[in-house]
C-alpha cells in the first residue's frame, strides 16, 4: 500500500506517514488537503496524494518526544531568528557559530544565530569580540511553536 506523508498545517513539518486509504479518508473528512499529488492520477474526486497537509495546526508533542529536540539546522536557526541577521538586522541566509567551531564552539541552539552572508563572511572564525561585532540577539532554545507559529497557518 502506498504511503502518504502527512504535514502539519503550514506544510513545513512532517508529522508521520499514513497509508493511501487513510489519507483519502482524511481528505473526505476535510481534515486535510492535498499538498503534492502524483501527476495525472486521481483517486475518486481527489488528485492521488503523495503528501497531504492538515487543515488545522496541531501541537504535536509526540513528534518531538519521538525524535528528540528540534535540530538547530540552518533552516531552523533562520526560522527561530525570523530570518534576521543577529549582527546587523538585515535579511539572514546563513547560520553563524557565535563561538567558532575552531575555538571549541558547539553546534547547539545557544551557540548559533542567523547571520547575513556579509556579516558571516566578515566575522569568519572569530568571536564577536575579536571581530569587533556586536551580537544584538540572545540565542535561545526554541519550542516547536517558536519555529512554526500558528500565525503562519493558512486556512
Q: 63 vs 88, which CB is nearer to Zn ion?
A: 88
Number of other residues whose CB lies within 10 A of the CB of residue 141: 12
- Quote the strand ranges of the chain, DSSP E: 3-7, 14-19, 32-43, 46-54, 94-97, 112-115
Regarding 113 and contact with Zn ion (CB under 5 A), the answer is no
Q: 37 vs 88, which CB is nearer to Zn ion?
A: 88
Regarding 119 and contact with Zn ion (CB under 5 A), the answer is yes
Minimum CB distance to Zn ion, residue 134 (Å): 11
Minimum CB distance to Zn ion, residue 119 (Å): 3
The number of C-alpha atoms within 13 Å of 30 and in the hemisphere containing its C-beta is 1
Number of other residues whose CB lies within 10 A of the CB of residue 8: 20
Q: 32 vs 119, which CB is nearer to Zn ion?
A: 119
Minimum CB distance to Zn ion, residue 107 (Å): 20
Question: Which residues are CB-neighbours of 146 under 8 A, at least 6 positions away?
Answer: 80
- In the region spanning residues 71 to 100, those forming contacts with Zn ion, defined by CB under 5 A, are 85, 87-88
Residues that bind Zn ion (CB under 5 A): 85, 87-88, 116, 119
Amino acid at each position: 500500500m502506498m504511503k502518504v506523508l502527512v504535514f502539519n498545517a503550514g506544510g513545513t513539518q512532517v508529522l508521520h506517514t499514513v497509508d493511501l486509504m487513510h489519507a483519502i479518508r482524511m481528505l473526505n473528512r476535510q481534515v486535510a488537503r492535498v499538498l503534492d499529488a502524483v501527476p495525472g492520477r486521481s483517486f475518486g474526486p481527489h488528485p492521488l496524494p503523495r503528501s497531504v497537509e492538515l487543515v488545522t495546526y496541531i501541537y504535536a508533542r509526540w513528534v518531538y518526544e519521538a525524535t528528540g529536540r528540534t535540530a538547530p539546522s540552518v533552516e531552523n536557526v533562520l526560522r527561530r531568528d525570523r530570518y534576521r541577521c543577529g549582527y546587523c538586522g538585515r535579511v539572514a541566509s546563513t547560520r553563524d557559530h557565535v563561538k567558532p567551531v575552531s575555538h571549541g564552539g558547539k553546534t547547539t541552539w545557544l551557540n548559533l544565530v542567523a547571520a547575513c552572508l556579509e556579516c558571516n563572511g566578515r566575522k569568519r572564525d572569530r568571536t564577536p569580540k575579536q571581530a569587533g561585532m556586536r551580537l544584538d540577539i540572545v540565542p535561545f532554545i526554541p519550542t516547536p511553536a517558536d519555529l512554526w507559529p500558528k500565525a503562519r497557518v493558512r486556512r
